[in-house]
Amino acid sequence: MKEIQHFLYGGDYNPNQWDRETWKEDMTYFKDARINSATVNVFSWAKIQPTEHQYDFSELDDIMDMLTKENYQIVLATSTAALPAWMFKKYPEVGRTDFEGRHHKFGQRHNACPNSLVYQKYAKRLASKLAERYGDNPQLAYWHINNEYGGECFCENCEKAFRIWLRDKYKTIEALNKAWNLEFWGHTVYEWDEIVLPNALSEGISYKDTAFAGISIDYRRFNSDSMLENFKMEREAIREWDKETPITTNLMGTYYYLDYFKWAKEMDIVSWDSYPAYNTPWSEVALRHDLMRGLKKQPFMLMEQTPSQQNWQPYNSLKKPGQLRAQSFQTIAHGANTIQYFQLRRSIGACEKFHGAVIAHSGTNNTRVFREVKQIGEELEAVGKELLATNIKSKVALIFDWDNYWALEYTSGPNKDLTYVEQIHHIYQYFYKQNISVDLVSLDDDLSDYQLVLAPVLYMIKEGTAEKIEKFVAEGGVLVTGFMSGIVDQSDNVHLGGYPGPLRQLCGVWVEEIDALAPEQRNQIAWTDGQQGEGKLVSDIIHLETAQELAQYASNFYQGTPAVTVNDYQAGKVYYFGTSLDDDSLAILLDKAAASAHIEKAAVDTKLEIVTREGNDVSFTFIINFTDESVPVPEAFTGKTDYLTNQTIDDQLELTPYDVLLIKE
């Protein structure tokens, strides 16, 4: 496989929307901004294949020639994320049927039914033709298949494919009936073709509500697999012509629909598009990066971010001066080995005309945004390459699992406000604030490298999960888990014998009942050392078995019963929290867990974000101010040099909002 030796700095480039004079201008501006890469051909299927039997690569040839001559690294997309109009006209089956059962006409993008054989045939052919034509271009750095795979389809072709997928999984109809507990409401099926897709016309109530979570979770797995098959199909088509160039597709962080851990196994490198809203906490942005790094435990590509604003959020605020730079360095700190924008030149019409770009509608380089892009370009030109061989090392693992994501959010009761990513973020936030790095891991990952494993809302315990966690603890690891954990198996049927099911012995508690709290309700918590706190969302009613109480409920009819516990299990320890704790209470618990796991807390207490990427004999520490006031740089850094500006850090230095320091050691 080609090893890319450049820190790619560039983005989506759509010269096909512009005249040739503009192309020339682009080349000058990009050089000025130190842009060294371009992602092309993302949405050009209609141009390349104007009719069913005709291909025309002339414009793309010119674009590739120009970029090659000008020495840009090229990220070449396959254009299969938006279908040409002729395909819909002749083969309406290529379109999707939505949750409501409406079959869609031509329009929008990400509009192909993943199980349409016509779509598959033409997508494969296009990928193959592109690879045959451009696969040996020396400037080709990455293949970018499709674009932001996602969404879902409920058409008849998908229904047929679902039955085949199920047959393969369950082998017998009896096994399927059992898995989905179809005896409930007399939904037993006797023939495979009695099975229908779970949308609004059948078991689906609304997008995340269903009468049979078992069916809906299987549908999610199937839909994710169907799109993954599309990806693999294009990948194989490319590989027939080009064995060397790494292949990716751009993911979307904590995106609900696709099991990215499964996807990442098929990708040479993970890439993703980061679009925080004006009010997304920086800790959540960091979490998304850590998840993307965690998919392969390797640095990733930032495929897209906007240099200024977006268009599709409700409120598309501008990035404040310095924010783009801070955000870019945060992305790198958490594992990015490229910084790429959507897009390089702002389009003139359609829904993205207000989307930020390196070159704005004014068409000049004399803009605030361009100057910031250029500053980052200059800095990355100087330091980017050295960062490539470094990564983050962490002793803390946080489990993220798409089956659990789907199962928790499909579950009817006890509390509809319980959402997966929010719970993951809540626990992550503590470590973010402490500047302790966290790896996001899957249930397939090896846990033995970690000292502390966090498993909040580990609702679904699949085959092998309990054994894996038990081994980790038995060997001396520290586990933190809590409410809504250990409840169901991989088909969403309850593990009988008392909650938290297979985790009961490990946690040393029996949860007899689970109370739900409405948004305005809270339960008081009293810690054994006298501190007070609150719990919300749900409250487990807990009996101690081998565990000890750390806090108890101080209100409600179960006051005086345990709310937070700890259990010694062989060489390790397990902390259990029975309710969604307020931030301070969660910090009390995690302080204890981190101490038991010998996780070193950062030497300094600071509001700055501090992250280190380590290489063989070098390390890079990023210090970033995401607050809105100046913050003193901790004394530990006095006398060191900021690698970006070559200034020595003195003991008076304060970082202004969005300022960044990079320390090489």
Q: Return the active site residues.
A: 148, 304
Residue 355: which of ligand GLA, Zn ion, none does it interact with, CB under 5 to 8 A by kind? Answer: ligand GLA
Partners of residue 510 on adjacent β-strands: 543
CA distances from 295 to 53, 222, 269, 522, 535 (A): 40, 20, 10, 36, 32
Three-state SS annotation for 81-126: CCCCHHHHHHCHHHCCECCCCCECCCCCCCCCCCCCHHHHHHHHHH
Q: What are phi and psi of 210, to 5 degrees?
A: -150, 155
Counting contacts by CB under 5 A, is residue 118 touching Zn ion? no
CA distances from 340 to 56, 113, 344 (A): 28, 29, 9
Residues from 473 through 502 that contact ligand GLA (CB under 6 A): none
Q: Which of 553, 562, 486, 490 is nearest to 524 (CA)?
A: 553
Counting contacts by CB under 5 A, is residue 76 touching Zn ion? no
Counting contacts by CB under 6 A, is residue 271 touching ligand GLA? no
User: How many residues belong to the site for ligand GLA (CB under 6 A)?
Assistant: 9
Partners of residue 575 on adjacent β-strands: 480, 566
Residue 275: which of Zn ion, ligand GLA, none does it interact with, CB under 5 to 8 A by kind? Answer: ligand GLA
- Span near Zn ion by CB under 5 A; candidates 105-113, 191-199, 224-232, 519-527: 105-113
Partners of residue 524 on adjacent β-strands: 534
Please state whether beta strands 247-248 and 140-144 pair in parallel, antiparallel, or not at all (unpaired).
parallel
Residue 503 token pair: 């985790």
Counting contacts by CB under 6 A, is residue 203 touching ligand GLA? no
What's the rounded Cα separation, in Å, for the pair 292 and 302? 10
Shortest spacing between CB 109 and ligand GLA, in angstroms: 8
Residues from 222 through 251 that contact Zn ion (CB under 5 A): none
x/- site string to ligand GLA, residues 314 to 353, per CB under 6 A? ----------------------------x---------x-
Shortest spacing between CB 248 and Zn ion, in angstroms: 25
Other beta carbons less than 10 A from residue 494's beta carbon = 12
What's the rounded Cα separation, in Å, for the pair 331 and 306? 13
- Span near Zn ion by CB under 5 A; candidates 130-138, 154-162, 206-214, 225-233: 154-162
CA distances from 533 to 253, 485, 582 (A): 32, 22, 7
Q: CB-based burial of residue 101 (10 Å sphere; 0-12 exposed, 13-18 middle, 19+ buried)?
A: middle
Other beta carbons less than 10 A from residue 263's beta carbon = 21
- Span near Zn ion by CB under 5 A; candidates 143-151, 152-160, 375-383, 402-410: 152-160
Shortest spacing between CB 250 and ligand GLA, in angstroms: 6
Residues from 106 through 165 that contact ligand GLA (CB under 6 A): 147-148
Q: How far is CA 38 from the centre of its chain?
A: 23
Shortest spacing between CB 148 and ligand GLA, in angstroms: 5
- Span near Zn ion by CB under 5 A; candidates 113-121, 137-145, 378-386, 441-449: 113-121
Mapped onto helix, strand or coil, the DSSP state of residue 160 is: helix
What's the rounded Cα separation, in Å, for the pair 638 and 633? 8
| Closer residue to Zn ion (CB): 151 or 322 | 151
Shortest spacing between CB 321 and ligand GLA, in angstroms: 21
Counting contacts by CB under 5 A, is residue 158 touching Zn ion? yes
Is-contact 214 170, C-beta < 8 A? no
Please identify which residue in 273, 290, 515, 540 interacts with ligand GLA, judged by CB under 6 A. 273
- Sign of the Cα pseudo-torsion (23, 27, 32, 37, in order): positive
| Closer residue to ligand GLA (CB): 143 or 342 | 342
Residue 4: which of ligand GLA, Zn ion, none does it interact with, CB under 5 to 8 A by kind? Answer: none
Please identify which residue in 241, 275, 282, 354 interacts with ligand GLA, judged by CB under 6 A. 275
| Closer residue to Zn ion (CB): 159 or 234 | 159
Q: Provide Rg for the chain, Cα atoms.
A: 26
Counting contacts by CB under 6 A, is residue 304 touching ligand GLA? yes
| Closer residue to Zn ion (CB): 149 or 637 | 149
Reading phi first (left if > 0) and then psi (alpha if -120 to 50, else beta), residue 324 is in alpha
Counting contacts by CB under 6 A, is residue 355 touching ligand GLA? yes
| Closer residue to ligand GLA (CB): 13 or 219 | 13
Please identify which residue in 35, 48, 123, 153 interacts with Zn ion, judged by CB under 5 A. 153
Is-contact 513 539, C-beta < 8 A? no
Residue 273: which of ligand GLA, Zn ion, none does it interact with, CB under 5 to 8 A by kind? Answer: ligand GLA
Q: Which residue is nearest to ligand GLA (CB)?
A: 273
Q: Which residues bind ligand GLA (CB under 6 A)?
A: 147-148, 273, 275, 304, 310, 342, 352, 355
Q: Which residues bind Zn ion (CB under 5 A)?
A: 113, 115, 153, 155, 157-158
